[in-house]
């Protein structure tokens, strides 16, 4: 039973409700009805009209892929709803949750001490929640995100502020809790066994900025940065492609760089004669030259020697080159979550950057294999768009909506709740989502591969509708190809 039905059902059975309907006093009857209406309006907020008139606007479809489950908005919840729907479009997330549930089941069946009970509250609740969102439905059904919020609040031991209305900040918070629980799982698993496949955390990636000197062709030392959401700052220009934004290849050119390799190369290429002390320093430079990077900081006295070198026409402080800065990925995540920051500071206040981002259903990420700090090989990793969140409105206020991919294919791996059902839910989990669907290649899934989800309202849509959100796209979810 959906939340809406539950609410209506409990109102109908409530003694106050029955009293209101049974009373003969019209003033009390209609006055009280007004009160109840106000109460329902307060609880259900913007969704009230939809709830009241759902029977007329929500005809059952003969197809299981026409509708999906939306989420109720109690007033300011679109950032929560969109963040959760975004995760439900990822097949990789299902796979991850199942692996975690499998490990948890193993731990509870093989406790280190008799009676030990292990729990990963957010993972478990998330698995049930995603299962419900993905369950095939012939109606536009409605659920509530309450169980996720209640779990988060009990983990943080405080009420969540509904005023914090940024989908990226909320997603970041979710991922932090998931990551903490994941690390706890790894700790327990390593403690007990190393025989089971331990899942990798699907959001974690590493990138580095690689600088290349256009004069000598050598690269910089590799400096790594971890991420679970890849944040990209939009440029102050009308449009840019996502590929360009990620690689930074076209925008980041730095002039006047003082390249260590170019300077040492000029000194070694000189023909003048030197005194014995200088000759010994040059010998040292020759030895280290093959390993030099363009930003290597030399030890003293070599550093001072190279920087102040002025001999036989070679003056190192005058040697400048142009470098290009490129972002390369040294570890690619299973789920690439991209945050496009649309905040722009104009010196006085923040405004919204309406730069158009051209993105595609497929994305290639350049993966750089690094061994001992040296780049050795590159290959391209293919990703497919699973969800997108748009933000419309101004910088300070607005509305979030989500596009979620229909996960109806033979490859679909449903959440397996038989692995670790929460005690006492009374849920019928004898059938998984997959078993309830007959996997015929439905033409409508091909024609309308996504749902557009605005809180409780859902509608199927073509890929073009998703890709056309260039001006308001805010978060993008890409699944790594299997
Ligand atoms: Zn150089």
Task: Render pLDDT for 279-301 as a digit per residue (tens, 0 to 9).
Answer: 888 889 999 999 999 999 999 99
Q: Which residue has better confidence, 56 or 352?
A: 352
374 pLDDT band, cuts 50/70/90, is: low
- Ligand 1 center to residue 272 CA distance, Å? 22
Q: What is the pLDDT of residue 36?
A: 40
Q: Of residues 436 and 462, which shows the higher confidence score?
A: 462
pLDDT digits (tens, 9 = 90+) for 68-96: 999 999 888 899 999 999 999 999 999 99
Mean pLDDT of the chain: 80
Q: Exposed, middle or buried, 47 (CB in 10 Å: 0-12/13-18/19+)?
A: buried
The phi and psi torsions of 363 (rounded to 5 degrees) equal -140, 135
Segment of 120-124, 419-423, 429-433 carrying the highest mean pLDDT: 120-124
301 CA to middle of ligand 1, Å? 21
Across the range 347-365, mean pLDDT stands at: 88
Q: pLDDT at position 270, please?
A: 79
Annotated active-site residue in 216, 399, 402, 461: 399
395 is catalytic: no
Highest mean pLDDT among 188-192, 261-265, 429-433: 261-265
pLDDT band for position 221 (cuts 50, 70, 90):
confident
Hey, which of 31-45, 148-162, 302-316, 464-478 has the most confident mean pLDDT? 464-478
Q: Determine how many CB atoms are found less than 10 A away from the CB of residue 187.
A: 10
How deeply is 342 buried, as exposed, middle or buried, from its count of CB atoms within 10 A (0-12, 13-18, 19+)?
Answer: buried
**CA-angle at 402, arms to 398 and 407, nearest 5°:** 175
Mean pLDDT of 374-385: 85
| Collapsed DSSP state (helix, strand, coil) of residue 312 | coil
| β-strand partners of 231 | 339
146-150, 185-189, 210-214, 219-223: which has the highest mean pLDDT? 146-150
Q: Which residue among 78, 213, 259, 454 is the active-site one?
A: 78
Q: Do 303 and 297 form a contact (C-beta atoms < 8 A)?
A: yes
Token pair for 38: 């106000």
CA dihedral 318, 319, 321, 327 (to 10 degrees): -110
Averaged pLDDT, 233-246? 90
Is the confidence at residue 256, as pLDDT, over 80?
Answer: yes
39 — pLDDT class (breaks 50, 70, 90): very low
Write the CA distances from 432 to 128, 415, 437, integer angstroms: 11, 7, 9
- Ligand 1 centroid vs 293 CA: distance in angstroms? 8
Angstrom distance (rounded) from CA 134 to CA 386: 13
CA of 373 to the centre of ligand 1 (A): 18
Cis peptide before 253 (omega within 30 of 0): no
The rounded Å distance from CA 213 to ligand 1 centre is: 5
> Torsions phi, psi of 103, nearest 5?
-65, -40
Beta bridge mates, 182: none
Residue 156 has pLDDT above 70, yes or no: yes
Q: Looking at the predicted structure, is the pLDDT value of residue 5 above 90? A: no
Closest C-alpha to 449, from 409, 401, 391: 409
Q: Of 41-55, 99-113, 115-129, which range is least confident?
A: 41-55
Residues 302-316, mean pLDDT to the nearest whole number: 88
Which sign does the torsion angle of CA 350, 356, 357, 361 carry? positive
Answer whether 120's CB lies under 8 Å from 104's CB.
yes
Residue 32 has pLDDT above 50, yes or no: no
Q: Is 50 or 245 the better-scoring residue by pLDDT?
A: 245
Per-residue pLDDT at 26: 42
Dump strand ranges (E) for 179-222: 205-213
Over the stretch 314-342, which tens digit does the pLDDT of each residue have?
888 999 999 988 888 889 999 999 999 98
CB atoms within 10 A of CB 121: 15
Ligand 1 geometric centre to CA of 259 (Å): 5
Asked if residue 51 lies in contact with residue 4, where contact means CB atoms within 8 angstroms, the answer is yes
Nearest 5°: the CA angle 118, 122, 125 is: 95
pLDDT at 465 over 90: yes
Cα–ligand 1 centroid distance for 223 (angstroms): 18
CA of 366 to the centre of ligand 1 (A): 24
Give the model's pLDDT for residue 208.
84
Distance 316 CA to ligand 1 centre (A): 12
- Centroid of ligand 1 to alpha carbon of 245 (angstroms): 25
* Lowest model confidence (mean pLDDT) among 31-40, 151-160, 173-182, 186-195: 31-40
Taking phi over 0 as left and psi of -120 to 50 as alpha, with beta for the rest, 345 belongs to: beta
**Euclidean distance between CA atoms 233 and 252, whole angstroms:** 13
Query: 215 alpha carbon to ligand 1 midpoint, in Å?
Result: 5
78 is catalytic: yes
CB-based contact 405:397 (threshold 8 Å) = no
Of 3.30.1460, 1.10.357, 3.90.70, 3.30.390, the CATH number of 59-202+383-480 is 3.90.70
| Residue 328: strand pairing partners | 208
Report d(CA 455, CA 142) in Å as an integer: 9
Instruction: Among 135-139, 204-208, 223-227, 417-421, name the one with the lowest average pLDDT.
Output: 417-421
pLDDT band at 456 (very low <50, low <70, confident <90, very high): very high
Q: Which residues contact 86 (CB under 8 A, 6 or more apart)?
A: 167, 171, 387, 388, 389, 402, 404, 475, 477
CA of 365 to the centre of ligand 1 (A): 27
Q: Which residue has the higher pLDDT, 24 or 309?
A: 309
- Residue ranges of domains in the chain: 1-57, 59-202+383-480, 260-319
């Amino acid at each position: 039973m959906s939340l809406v039905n539950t609410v209506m059902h409990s109102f109908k059975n409530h003694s106050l409700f029955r009293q209101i309907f049974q009373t003969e006093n019209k003033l009390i009857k209609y006055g009280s009805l007004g009160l109840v209406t106000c109460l329902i309006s307060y609880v259900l907020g913007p969704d009230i009209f939809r709830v009241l008139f759902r029977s007329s606007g929500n005809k059952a479809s003969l197809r299981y892929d026409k509708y999906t489950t939306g989420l109720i908005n109690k007033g300011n919840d679109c950032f929560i709803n969109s963040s959760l729907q975004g995760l439900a479009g990822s097949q990789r997330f299902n796979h991850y949750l199942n692996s975690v549930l499998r490990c948890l089941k193993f731990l509870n069946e093989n406790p280190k001490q008799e009676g030990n009970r292990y729990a990963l509250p957010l993972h478990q609740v998330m698995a049930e929640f995603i299962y419900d969102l993905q369950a095939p439905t012939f109606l536009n059904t409605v659920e509530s995100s309450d169980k996720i919020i209640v779990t988060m609040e009990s983990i943080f031991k405080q009420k969540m502020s509904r005023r914090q209305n940024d989908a990226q900040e909320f997603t970041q918070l979710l991922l932090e809790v998931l990551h903490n629980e994941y690390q706890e799982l790894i700790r327990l698993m390593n403690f007990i066994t190393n025989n089971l496949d331990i899942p990798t955390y699907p959001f974690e990636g590493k990138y580095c900025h690689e600088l290349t000197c256009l004069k000598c062709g050598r690269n910089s030392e590799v400096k790594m940065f971890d991420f679970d959401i890849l944040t990209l700052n939009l440029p102050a220009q009308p449009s840019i492609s996502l590929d360009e934004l990620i690689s930074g290849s076209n925008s980041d050119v730095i002039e006047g760089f003082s390249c260590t390799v170019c300077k040492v190369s000029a000194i070694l290429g000189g023909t003048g004669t030197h005194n014995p002390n200088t000759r010994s320093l040059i010998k040292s430079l020759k030895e280290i030259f093959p390993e030099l990077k363009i930003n290597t900081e030399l030890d003293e006295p070599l550093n001072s020697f190279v920087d102040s070198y002025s001999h036989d026409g070679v003056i190192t402080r005058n040697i400048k080159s142009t470098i290009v800065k490129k972002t390369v990925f040294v570890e690619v995540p299973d789920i690439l979550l991209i945050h496009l920051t649309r905040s722009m500071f104009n010196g006085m206040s923040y405004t919204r950057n309406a730069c158009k981002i051209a993105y595609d259903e497929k994305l290639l990420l350049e993966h750089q294999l690094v061994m001992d700090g040296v780049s050795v090989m590159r290959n391209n990793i293919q990703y497919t768009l699973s969800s997108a969140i748009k933000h419309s409105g101004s910088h300070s206020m607005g509305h979030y909506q989500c596009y979620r991919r229909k996960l109806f294919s033979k490859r679909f791996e449903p959440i397996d709740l038989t692995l670790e059902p929460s005690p006492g839910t009374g849920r019928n989990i004898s059938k998984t989502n997959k078993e309830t669907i007959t996997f015929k290649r439905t033409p409508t899934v091909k024609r309308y591969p996504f749902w557009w989800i605005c809180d409780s309202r859902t509608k199927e849509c073509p890929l073009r509708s998703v890709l056309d959100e260039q001006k308001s796209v805010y978060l993008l979810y890409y699944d790594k190809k299997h």
